[in-house]
Structure 1
Amino acid sequence: MRRQKRDMTERAFQRGYQAGFAGKQKGTCPHNQDQLKQEWLTGWREGRNDNWDGLTTMSALQKQAFH
């Protein structure tokens, strides 16, 4: 049985988090729609903060799973 796709806002947040955690610039946001762009940027900020706070990659993945 196939897994249902997550809604687009959650997906945008997750991708933004991954980009922020990886140290990418916030200007790399791929979204044009305001709501998706806002979710991506929110995820990006949280990912950057976690990176700066010294979270390991495994800790970040675990945190993402519970978002």
Structure 2
Amino acid sequence: MSQMTAIAAKFLLLIEHECDRHNLRLLTKCANCETPFPIPAEWVQGECPHCFLPFATMAKRQKHC
């Protein structure tokens, strides 16, 4: 595991696991290919960096808290 991946994994453990605005569980990996998401600061586009599934499409698959 690279140092950046380890840092991203620790970051995801420290943040909230649900969105208080939308009342949805936050995703930590792509709903399509299951690639773990990079830290939010590295999100360049609104899609999975591996399979390019848009985040908006993933939102339809999220569970309510």
Is this a same-fold pair by TM over 0.5?
Answer: no
The alignment's TM-score, normalised by the length of structure 1, stands at 0.32
The structure with the greater share of residues assigned to strand is 2
Higher relative contact order (CA 8 A, sep 6+): 1
